Amino acid sequence: MIVTRDLTKTYGRVTAVHGVALEVREGDRYGLLGPNGSGKTTLIRMLLGLVYATRGEIEVFGLPMPKRVKEVLPQVGALVEGPGAYPHLSGRTNLALLDAAGPGGARRDRRRRIGEALERVGLAGIDGRPVRAYSLGMRQRLGLAAALLRRPRLLVLDEPTNGLDPRGIREVRDLLTELNEGGTTVLLSSHLLAEIEAFCTRVGVMDRGRMVLQDDLATLRGPTGRVLLDTPDGDRACALLDGRVEHREGQRLTVRHDAPHDLNTTLVTAGIRVAGLVPEQRSLEQVVMAATTTSSDRVEGSTA
């Protein structure tokens, strides 16, 4: 759906994006993660033809960008660097102006489409106010409504939850999930690990202009080869497992083992009570820290 090769952008002596090979597949919920200044916005802007690459290639829907921008953009909803809107007009009027330049159709259909978009982002009741009276969160929602108007095949969002409170973040996530289930591929950027981990199926990690990691979240978080065991019979379990217990804290044991089913059978057969047994998984935070050791203090962790 999006493929880039050796994509590079320099501003004078600053290399904002450096040799990036991005791969977003149809149906992905792709999260571009990285600290401020790592090049996410520049990368996204190049994908949309908003800035020209210094070097490299971009394909969106299999079409070269920005050469085929006129065919690509009508199928893309985008929210980049804050929603642009006329501050003295209402949200609805702003959307109507946008829509008039977009897909067109009968007036009644356009009005319905705008009403639906406002409804979906939770702005239906307050759209009479001028946009200048909107909070940042409301402006973000309006930007999302504008992105939705096109019923896009691909939605590209730069920090879409910026300025939203926890409830707003949740609502945006639910909305994006719903759209994705309806077939829209979603690419979003964030500097918040927890946000990416909660929503995305695929992750790309940017660090000082480079893509240092890109994979499916499930693969990145794959099993570690350890099992977390909860048992009231810790002493007996330790004796039975003979050297495989790496860590023990009360009832909780970390056991080196890559076949949880077999481990369970072994324990139960020996009459050891098992209160809980799960394969250990890496957190996205651990994966990202390992990939960005040089600037690990600049990515906000899931506990932030």
Q: Which residues bind ligand ATP (CB under 6 A)?
A: 11, 14, 16, 34, 36-42, 191
Write out the two tokens for 296.
């690990």
DSSP-assigned beta bridge partners for residue 156: 78, 187
CB closer to ligand ATP, 206 vs 277: 206
Tell me how far, at minimum, the Cβ of 189 lies from ligand ATP, in Å. 7
Distance from C-alpha of 99 to C-alpha of 46, rounded to nearest angstrom: 24
For the beta carbon of residue 107, count every other beta carbon within 10 angstroms.
9
Nearer to ligand ATP, 36 or 265 (CB): 36
The alpha carbon dihedral of 218, 220, 223, 229 has a sign of negative
Instruction: Using the minimum distance from each CB to ligand ATP, give the nearer residue, 169 or 277.
Output: 169
**Residue among 27 and 82 whose Cβ is closer to ligand ATP:** 82
Q: Which is nearer to ligand ATP, 193 or 253 (CB)?
A: 193
- Can you list the alpha helix ranges (DSSP code H) found in 182-283? 193-199, 217-220, 234-241, 260-269
Name the residue nearer to ligand ATP (CB basis): 34 or 168.
34
38 vs 90, beta carbon nearer ligand ATP: 38
Q: Measured from the CB of residue 257, what is the shortest distance to ligand ATP in angstroms?
A: 40
From the CB of 42, what's the least distance to ligand ATP, in Å?
3
Q: How far is the CB of 186 from ligand ATP (least distance, A)?
A: 17
Measuring CA to CA, which residue among 218, 174, 166, 214 is closest to residue 192?
A: 166
For the chain, the farthest-separated pair of C-alpha atoms sits apart, in whole angstroms, at 76
Cβ(187)–Cβ(157) under 8 Å?
yes
In the complex, the smallest distance separating the C-beta of residue 46 from ligand ATP, rounded to whole angstroms, is: 10
Min dist. Cβ of residue 268 to ligand ATP (A): 50
Whole-angstrom Cα distance, residue 100 to residue 67? 25
Quick one: 36 or 135, whose CB is closer to ligand ATP? 36
The count of other CB atoms within 10 Å of the CB of residue 95 is 26
Which residue has tokens 């759906």? 1
Q: Which burial class, exposed, middle or buried, applies to 14 when counting CB atoms under 10 A from its CB (0-12, 13-18, 19+)?
A: exposed
Cα 63–chain centre separation: 24
Least Å distance, CB 35 to ligand ATP, is 7
Phi, psi (degrees; rounded to nearest 5) at 65: -115, 145
- CB 44 to ligand ATP: min, Å: 8
